[in-house]
């Protein structure tokens, strides 16, 4: 028969194992929730980027960039805080959304590699077109306008230049799963 000291020691060990198992399960649940949140945000990004308003804004970027390059009155208008040209409204909404996504990425709320795998080229191209107008809006609204998206766009350019973009595309081509059975 076991004395009470041994019984207490065995009970303490069993309790420690149960507590450790519960802690592992809790950490796995937290990890699962984090991944679920990332997926929700990523799917929201996809919905936004594919939306008619964003598609319209992306189509107007070249026109706006050309106007910034060639129209001095328009450049002056963009430096005025009271001015908000109609063609700039949808572009500004797109920029605000991308600013929010950029902050989530920079703070670790969304996996950067996940977003850049899909949109590195898009963000890089958008920044190249938006930059002159954003720099003028910084005169009107301060130095932080578009700063988070600028940071993400620079990271996107580096992602492409590093060869990661090419490796990801090549990995898709090497995928051996039969797509006819999906």
Q: What is the pLDDT of residues 110-153, one digit of tens each?
A: 888 888 888 999 999 999 999 999 999 999 999 999 999 999 99
Distance CA 120, CA 165 (A): 8
When computed from its CA atoms, the radius of gyration of the chain, rounded to whole angstroms, is 25
Cβ–Cβ under 8 Å, residues 114 and 42: yes
What is the DSSP-derived secondary structure letter of residue 145?
Answer: T
For 108, the 3-state DSSP assignment is: coil
What's the confidence (pLDDT) of residue 97? 92
Percent of the chain exceeding pLDDT 90 equals 45
Q: Model confidence at 165, in pLDDT bands (50, 70, 90)?
A: confident
Q: What are phi and psi of 178, to 5 degrees?
A: -80, 115
Tens digits of per-residue pLDDT, 44-64? 889 999 999 899 888 889 888
Q: Which two tokens stand for residue 111?
A: 């996996």
Residue 1 has pLDDT above 70, yes or no: no
Q: What is the pTM of this model?
A: 0.74
Q: Model confidence at 182, in pLDDT bands (50, 70, 90)?
A: low
């Amino acid at each position: 028969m076991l004395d009470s000291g041994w019984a207490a020691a065995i009970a303490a060990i069993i309790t420690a194992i149960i507590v450790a198992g519960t802690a592992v399960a809790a950490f796995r649940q937290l990890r699962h929730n984090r991944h679920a949140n990332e997926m929700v945000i990523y799917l929201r990004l996809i919905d936004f980027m594919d939306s008619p308003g964003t598609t319209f804004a992306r189509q107007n970027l070249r026109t706006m960039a050309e106007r910034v390059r060639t129209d001095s009155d328009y450049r002056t208008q963009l430096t005025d805080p009271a001015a908000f040209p109609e063609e700039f409204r949808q572009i500004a909404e797109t920029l605000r959304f991308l600013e929010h996504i950029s902050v989530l990425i920079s703070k670790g709320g969304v996996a950067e590699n996940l977003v850049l795998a899909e949109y590195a080229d898009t963000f890089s191209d958008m920044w190249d077109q938006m930059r002159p107008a954003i720099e003028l809006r910084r005169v009107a609204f301060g130095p932080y306008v578009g700063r988070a998206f600028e940071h993400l766009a620079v990271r996107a350019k580096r992602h492409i230049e590093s060869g990661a973009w090419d490796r990801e595309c090549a990995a898709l081509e090497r995928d051996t799963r039969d797509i006819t059975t999906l």
